[in-house]
Amino acid sequence: MINTRNKVTPVHGIVYKWRRVRDRSSLVCALSIIMLFVAMPSNAYDDIVEPRTFTYAEHKLINGQVIRPVTVVYQSYGKLDADGGNGVLILHGMGGTAHAAGRHAADGPTGYWDELIGPGKPFDTDKYFVISPQALAGGHRDGKPGSGTTGPHSIDAETGRPYGMSFPTFTIRDMVHVHKKLLDHLGVKHLVVVSGISMGGYQALELIATYPDLADGAIPVVARGRSPAQHMANHLVRRTAVMNDENWQSGEYYGTGRYPVTGMAIASLTSASAYNGSALWYENNILEYDRDRSPYDDIANMFDMEAELLTGATARAETGIDANCYLYQSRALTTQNLGYARGDADNWRQGLANGLSRVNASVLMMPSRTDGSVQPRFAAEIVDILQTFGKTAKLHVIDSERGHSGSREFYQMIPAMSAFIDSLPGTQP
């Protein structure tokens, strides 16, 4: 990992030298946000949560290929009503895990949506049975709990070896079909609401289109209904970076002691540049650097922003999602299309409409104002199409300078989410 002062580190043949980041205006902004949260009452989900697994014999994908068996990792919070009607489904973004709330150990980190799940929070565990499953291809390098749903890292029962690139290609719709299997297993007959961030939001939209009567409402956050060409191109660059790292070894790196860290770091850097579109990104960091190691003097010297990005990307490559799992989830994102195999369409909007016409649930779309990839216009179009069909749909734009990471502006999200959930039929006395 690249995290020490004056460390010299080769990345794809380039030697970078950098220092720790000193004072800057973005730090002031970050501290302001931190102080805002410090001033808010602490409402963390205090329980220790144990990841669980559910295994079933086989799953047929929409392309006709079959996975045998499938193991799903999930976490749950609250208690299921006798009629199975108080379910809430929470879905993570690309590369995430089932760890949505609580801790795995007393000193461990909280889940990614801990501020939203628990007593008195939007996804109230005193009222609802909250389930957070791990999506297909859920292997992680650090082996942390809740990261093992079947994928290319899993052992193929026929060969006794990891699947690698022989794992079948799947889609967002396939992810949703697997989630439905889990809900059936748990006895969840109806969802009050389904919600998720980014890839999780894509799944939320797909779920209410695929199973129109399953949920009363959906809250897709920084999400859209179909992958545009810009997104496909960005993911193509990411996958190419991984697959051209010599340590990727055509996906057969398991047990070799070699891993495509550089390729994964480059993929992460590409992601960072695509998902951020804020004033902070463009203005506040770019001119800051160590005067003794100026990027104006040597191609190997870095701006502070570059150093931060490289450090974070390398750390994620070392401990985050398994490289092959990353490739498969990336492909699933690029094939995302609510209208796929749901009628003819000669344009983008008609394709979306073919999928959204199936929706019965109320929908609250929550984009981030400065998101450079999943732009607010995508959410606005979904709302417009649903309203054209006479369906209940609302748009709440998160006023964030953090781009795609506006999905963590909880102080803005909570009031809108709570009001929406309180308006749903399943929450009425």
Tokens of 20: 């720790």
Label the pairing between strands 70-77 and 129-133.
Answer: antiparallel
Beta-bridge partner residues of 194: 89, 218
38 contact partners, CB below 8 Å, separation of at least 6: none
Q: What is the per-residue pLDDT for 36? A: 35
Query: Which of helix, strand or coil describes residue 106?
Result: coil
Q: What is the per-residue pLDDT for 143? A: 72
Is 371 a catalytic site residue?
yes
CB count, 10 Å around CB of 232? 14
Contact, 329 vs 153, CB < 8 A?
Answer: no
Q: 218 — phi, psi (to 5°)?
A: -140, 140
Q: What is the per-residue pLDDT for 429? A: 61
Q: What is the per-residue pLDDT for 279? A: 53
Strand segments, DSSP code E, in 42-100 are: 52-56, 59-60, 66-67, 70-77, 87-91
Cα 208 off chain centre by: 18
Residue 363's H or E segment, with its range, is strand 362-365
Cα 341 off chain centre by: 25
Domains of the chain with CATH codes: 8-39+231-331 (1.10.1740.110), 52-230+358-427 (3.40.50.1820)
Dist. CA 41–CA 420, nearest whole Å: 22
Length of the chain in terms of residues written? 429
Tens digit of pLDDT at every position of the chain (429 positions): 333 333 333 343 333 333 333 344 443 343 333 333 333 334 456 778 999 999 999 999 999 999 999 999 999 999 999 999 999 999 999 999 999 999 998 888 999 999 999 999 999 999 999 999 999 999 988 776 555 899 999 999 999 999 999 999 999 999 999 999 999 999 999 999 999 999 999 999 999 999 999 999 999 999 999 999 988 999 999 999 999 999 999 999 999 999 999 999 999 988 877 666 555 556 555 568 888 889 899 999 988 888 888 888 898 898 889 999 999 999 999 999 999 999 988 899 999 999 999 999 999 999 999 888 899 999 999 999 999 999 999 999 999 888 888 888 999 999 999 999 999 986 766
Catalytic residue among 114, 177, 404, 405: 404
Q: What is the per-residue pLDDT for 425? A: 86
Which sign does the torsion angle of CA 321, 324, 325, 331 carry?
A: positive
Catalytic residue among 153, 227, 371, 407: 371
Q: What is the per-residue pLDDT for 397? A: 97
Peptide bond into 69 cis (omega under 30): yes
Query: Reduced to 3 DSSP states, what percent helix, strand and coil does the chain have, rounded to the nearest 5?
Result: 40, 15, 45
Contact, 311 vs 3, CB < 8 A?
Answer: yes
Q: Among all chains, which residue has been given the structure tokens 């919070």?
A: 77
Catalytic residue among 76, 154, 195, 198: 198
Is 235 a catalytic site residue?
no
Is 198 a catalytic site residue?
yes
Which sign does the torsion angle of CA 389, 390, 391, 394 carry?
A: positive
